[in-house]
């Protein structure tokens, strides 16, 4: 999973062909830490997607603009358009994230 470094990088990735999954998170978030052990397995399972870690605190204006209020949250972009989102303040299970990612195919 690559780490978002700039708003310009976000804009470039947003327009990219294929599926880009932006994962909004923060170091202090316990529910974000909960998904860390199984996310590499899902990233590997969906290797045809590009996964991008977005530090919500570093990119707060971006998160607000995308109406990301709870973390961890996922926004999937497909060929330059938002395809789906899994955004809530609730803890997310591996199965819930897997189901979300699988529905993008």
Q: In what order do the strands lie in the sheet with 81-86?
A: 2-3, 50-55, 19-25, 73-78, 81-86
Active site positions, annotated: 29, 32
Pairing between strand 19-25 and 50-55? parallel
Instruction: List alpha helices for the chain, DSSP H.
Output: 7-14, 30-35, 39-45, 60-65, 94-102
Query: Distance between CA 62 and CA 23 in Å, rounded?
Result: 12
């Amino acid at each position: 999973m690559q780490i978002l470094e700039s708003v310009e990088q976000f804009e470039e990735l947003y327009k990219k062909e294929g599926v880009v999954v932006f994962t909004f998170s923060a170091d202090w978030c316990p529910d974000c830490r909960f998904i860390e052990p199984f996310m590499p397995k899902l990233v590997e399972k969906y290797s045809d997607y590009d996964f991008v870690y977005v530090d919500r605190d570093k990119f707060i204006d971006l998160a607000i603009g995308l109406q990301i209020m709870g973390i961890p949250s996922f926004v999937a972009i497909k060929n330059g358009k938002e395809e789906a989102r899994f955004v809530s303040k609730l803890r997310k299970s591996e199965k819930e994230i897997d189901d979300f990612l699988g529905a993008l195919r």
